[in-house]
Amino acid sequence: MRRRHLLILGGTGESRRLATRLADDASWDVTTSLAGRVSRPGELPGRVRVGGFGGAEGLARWLREHRVDGVVDATHPFALTMTEHAASACATTGVRLLRLERPAWEPTERDDWRHVDTVADAAGLADSLGSCLLVTTGRQEASAFAGVRARCLLRSIELPAGPLPAGREILLERGPFTLESERALIAAKGVDVVVTKNSGGGATAAKLVAAREAGLCVVVVRRPPRPKGLTVAADEDEALTWLQTESARRQRSNTSKVTP
């Protein structure tokens, strides 16, 4: 019997860990898709394709041409366009879809978080709150901070493009970050406000603990609302359970087709 073709929409730690755990799986043949934003994305098991599909229609075409049986959308919680395209293309083609999305971070009683809806709003608010901002919202939207007066430590994996704040320092680093290193960075640079998207997950959560310990304010960009009606898994274990259920469902429907 043909191994079923699984497309993982990637660009996150979850997508990498899921592809790794499926590397020797007898039932799924995995392709991971990356947008191509990072020039050195690191090793991934299985087949990898890079670049956009050309909208929801392009993705639907790709799913048909490559005989895809299931899609796990494991893109970042802020990659809303891709998530919308996946929902639309899977609805059009009848391909089963799972959204793999880590839970959002929640503040504790000891946190001073200010919520905003966009990175541009975060830049304006943070500038009014402090004089040295640790900005971790990513390089794609770094230009939202171009007009701020505060000193900005812009932390991203690759160099941000476009207009940038005059008082900037660029920290080219890839997580995970330890609590010790976050404490040291805040103390050494005199950070008084941390700016972040509500990405969730453990790899970049230490800054929140370090900010809490130091009594700093954190400006948090809320997640965009995801399309309604998606089946959602919170981690790779839940995604693997879904894939097993899908395999069993498919087997049952094949068996009932051949039984007279």
How far is the CA of 61 from the CAs of 5, 48, 102, 141, in angstroms? Answer: 15, 18, 28, 30
Scanning residues 195 to 234, which ones bind ligand NAP (CB under 6 A)? 197
User: 38 has which bridge partners?
Assistant: none
Number of residues that bind ligand NAP (CB under 6 A): 24
Print the binding letters for residues 24-63 with ligand NAP: x by CB under 6 A, - otherwise: ---------xxx-x--------------xxxx--xx----
Nearer to ligand NAP, 75 or 164 (CB): 75
Nearer to ligand NAP, 36 or 190 (CB): 36
Nearer to ligand NAP, 105 or 192 (CB): 105
DSSP string computed for 25-89: -SSEEEEEEE-S-SS-----SSEEEES--SHHHHHHHHHHHTT--EEEE---TT-HHHHHHHHHH
Contact 242, 233 (CB under 8 A): yes
Q: Using CB under 6 A, pick the residue from 76, 99, 155, 207 that binds ligand NAP.
A: 76
Smallest distance, ligand NAP to C-beta of residue 75, A: 4
How far is the CA of 156 from the CAs of 136, 140, 159, 165, 228, in angstroms? Answer: 7, 9, 7, 15, 31
Nearer to ligand NAP, 90 or 151 (CB): 90
Q: Residues in the site for ligand NAP, rule: CB under 6 A?
A: 9-12, 33-35, 37, 52-55, 58-59, 75-76, 78-82, 85, 138, 197
